Amino acid sequence: MPECSIPTHGLKILVVGQGGREHAIVRALARSPRVARIHCAPGNAGTAAEALNVPIGVMEFEALAAYAIRERIDLAVVGPADPVAGGLVDHLRAAGVAVFGPTREQAVLEGSKVFSKAFMRRHGIPTARCESFSDADAAFAYLDEAWRPEGIVIKVDGLADVQSTLVTSDRDEARAEIARALVERRYGEAGDRVLIEERLIGPEVSLLAFVDGRSWKLLPPARDHKQLLEGGFGPNTEGMGAFCPAPGATPEVLAVLDASLRGMRAEGLGYPGVLFVGVLLTAAGPRVLEYNCRFGDPETQVTLNGLQTDLVDVIQACLEGRLADIELAHDGRHHVCVVAADPDYPGEVSPGKAVTGLDDVAGATLLHAQTRETPAGPVAAGGRVLNVVASGENLEAARAAAYAALGSLRIGGEPPRFRRDVGQANAWDARILTADVDQPAAGLGAGQT
Ligand code: AMP
Ligand code: GLY
């Protein structure tokens, strides 16, 4: 692990990204007395109020590196998957900037689901049964062979621009999805290979751990509500909300995290940053669905909300390979994030709608996701527009505060689209899990490989 020293005070930090996750990261960094100035590229209307927004896109690696040199940036944090998998960290490091995150090579678990599956097999990490295909006819044949009444999951290997994982119990829809990737090439190179995976049933838990290559320290376990509709129905979205602590981070689940870190270290994939392990809790035990080598969205909005340790200190400990030496303190409260989307989401949305009612959000924190600043005020710049984050002594109190705050928000004059059951179990969860929501939120887990 390279030694990356950052100054003790007066830090200039560059956060790369423009969503609710990045607004949450900016907020957490801004709480540090060590920080002088935060720059956010390109940022949104929310980060504009707390950081200096920089009009450079997340994939403009040369321009970002040149900016970091010019502005003497001390530390960079990269939010979204694409620049992480694409190697922005390498570019910024080559420019002499300390960066929290993996190099392109270290981010292979983020960029390739086929690699991730093989990695899990090599290290005995439990996951769903799965086969991958680059030939459509072979994929269609396997689809018929692997078909089960509960349905199937179709994924593409790489990072697609759109939500590309299909969970379906309609075989024709599964076939059409395979054709979209392998025949019509709708996902470009990301769809060169398609994975056909058994459909697992059960609640999910997102484990976000700080890592330094050898050690891990867990943030409160969170749950992302992926599906569009209440009860966990409807198509998958990029996330309609999240809460923490979520039940399910049992010793068996934490063993999976430990094994993942060991495997990464053994294969030279350790890095200073965040490892996100998406786990599905089946009746037969935990199964890893995915790895991300970065903060999750919207999990970050809840897990950083109660972080009491200075985030800059945590990042520095990761960069210096001494994460094991620091204590990760959390407020022990429950945190809920409700995504307020354009009323037309997930259909086609027209950007530029006025976002109003923001000043009346009491008892909650408002994070911006897809918004843009204009002289006339913030406007929507995409489908998932705002994140309402609230906390409480228990989950119900946090939920009540978040939903009370949502009432005033308008997008293009209309109430936003949102799920009313963020923080509650999906229709099928009760069968799998006993209620262990009262597990402590602090002292969550840590390990060394
Ligand atoms: P991924 O594209 O791997 O991040 O998966 C996105 C979402 O699809 C997950 O968060 C799950 O909700 C769902 N999913 C993925 N794989 C499976 C599976 N094997 N069984 C059931 N649901 C899945
Ligand atoms: N919440 C899932 C992700 O960030 O990929």
Strand order in the sheet with 52-53: 52-53, 35-42, 11-17, 75-78, 98-100
Q: Is residue 162 part of a domain?
A: yes
pLDDT of residue 39: 98
Domain containing 396: what range?
204-431
- Which of 140, 171, 198 marks a domain boundary? 198
Cα distances (Å, whole numbers) of residue 115 to 156, 189, 207, 329, 373: 12, 15, 20, 34, 40
Ligand 1 test: best mutation among 157, 280, 281, 426, most atoms within 8 Å of CB? 280
The mean of the pLDDT values for the chain is 93
Q: Pick the atom of ligand 2 nearest to 21's CA.
A: 4
115 within domain boundaries: no
Average of per-residue pLDDT across 121-136? 97
Do 155 and 233 lie in a common domain? no
Average pLDDT over residues 261-279: 97
342 with 421, same domain?
yes
Per-residue pLDDT band for 429 (boundaries 50, 70, 90) equals low
| Cα–Cα distance, 399 to 395 (Å, whole number) | 6
- Note whether 213 and 305 are same-domain residues: yes
Question: 279 CA distance to ligand 2 centroid (A)?
Answer: 12
Q: Would you say residue 1 lies in a domain?
A: no
* Pocket flag, ligand 1, residue 226 (CB < 6 Å): yes
- Token pair, residue 154, equals 């179709």
Residue range 25-33: mean pLDDT, rounded: 98
**If you measure from the C-alpha of residue 294 to the centroid of ligand 2, how many angstroms do you get, rounded to a whole number?**
9
Q: Within this chain, do residues 280 and 186 fall inside the same structural domain, yes or no?
A: no
Q: Considering 198, 213, 241, which residue would you say is the last residue of a domain? A: 198
Tell me: do 98 and 179 sit in the same domain: no
Domain end point (choices 171, 198, 225): 198
Q: Judge if 329 and 387 occupy the same domain.
A: yes
* Domain at 99, CATH number: 3.40.50.20
Q: What is the CATH number of the domain that holds 385?
A: 3.30.470.20
pLDDT at 164: 82
Total H helices, total E strands in the chain: 14, 25
Q: Are residues 169 and 240 in the same domain?
A: no
Same-domain pairing of 306 and 348: yes
376 CA from centroid of ligand 2 (Å): 32
In a domain, 4, yes or no: no
Considering the domain architecture, whether residues 78 and 213 belong to the same structural domain is answered as: no
Same domain, 336 and 362: yes
- Report, as an integer, the average pLDDT of 62-79: 98
Q: How far apart are CA 385 and CA 382, in angstroms?
A: 6
Domain containing residue 176: CATH number: 3.30.1490.20
Report how far ligand 1's centroid is from the alpha carbon of 226 (Å): 9
Distance 206 CA to ligand 1 centre (A): 12
In terms of domains, do 24 and 135 share one?
Answer: no
Nearest CA to ligand 1 atom 6: 165
> Is pLDDT at 26 greater than 50 in this prediction?
yes
Total count of domains within the chain: 3
**Cα distance between residue 33 and residue 392, in whole Å:** 26
User: In this structure, which residue's CA is closest to atom 3 in ligand 2?
Assistant: 296
Sign of CA dihedral 281, 285, 290, 293: positive
Pocket test for ligand 2, best of 21, 224, 279, 387 (most atoms within 8 A of CB): 224
Let me know whether 194 and 208 are in one domain.
Answer: no
Is 116 inside any structural domain? Answer: no
Does this model's pTM top 0.85? yes
